[in-house]
A = this chain, B = another copy of it.
């Protein structure tokens, strides 16, 4: 640091508190109006910060979206893995999975919408695809605590289908139907 402190070409996290709030608000906007409506201006309005603050803290809109989805995935995946780790056996693990699905993902409109929006955005943006892939692999690793890898993969695919199904269908499957399908696949 003697001289030329090389002013951090990339990193721009001077006000961590505001940065955090921007990420949270971004998730709120995505959940409420979709990723297509998550513009610099709409987020700035929702967070009540000046427009320039966004490009100041995040180099581009994609960076901001990636940060937001990453936070969301971290939250959900960590919660799931924690519960999965606490399950004593395979049957309990399946019950944890049912609970996670019906309670967390399908039960909360916010989380459900965020999942689908992430799917969509990831289909086009490589940076976001990395986030979904991370989610998938973490979820699979959690499942593999109690299931063999092949079954874990099948269950993972079914779970994704159930999420989508629940988001788009008029009469989504209830907890009992989900439990039955999962136990037929992995019981």
Q: Which residues of A are at the interface with B, using a C-beta cutoff of 8 A?
A: 34, 36, 113, 116-117, 119-120, 122-124, 129, 132-133, 136, 150, 153-154, 156-165, 167-170, 173, 177, 180-181, 184-185
Contact = CB atoms under 8 A, between A and B. Distances in A.
Which of A116, A150, A162, A169 counts the most B-chain CB atoms under 10 A from its CB?
A: A169
Contacts of A158: 154, 157-158, 161, 181, 185
Nearest to A116: B123
Contacts of A34: 123-124
26 contacts: A113-B123, A116-B119, A116-B123, A117-B120, A117-B123, A119-B119, A119-B164, A119-B168, A120-B123, A132-B168, A133-B170, A150-B180, A153-B177, A154-B158, A154-B181, A154-B184, A157-B158, A157-B165, A157-B173, A158-B158, A158-B161, A160-B161, A160-B164, A161-B161, A164-B164, A181-B185
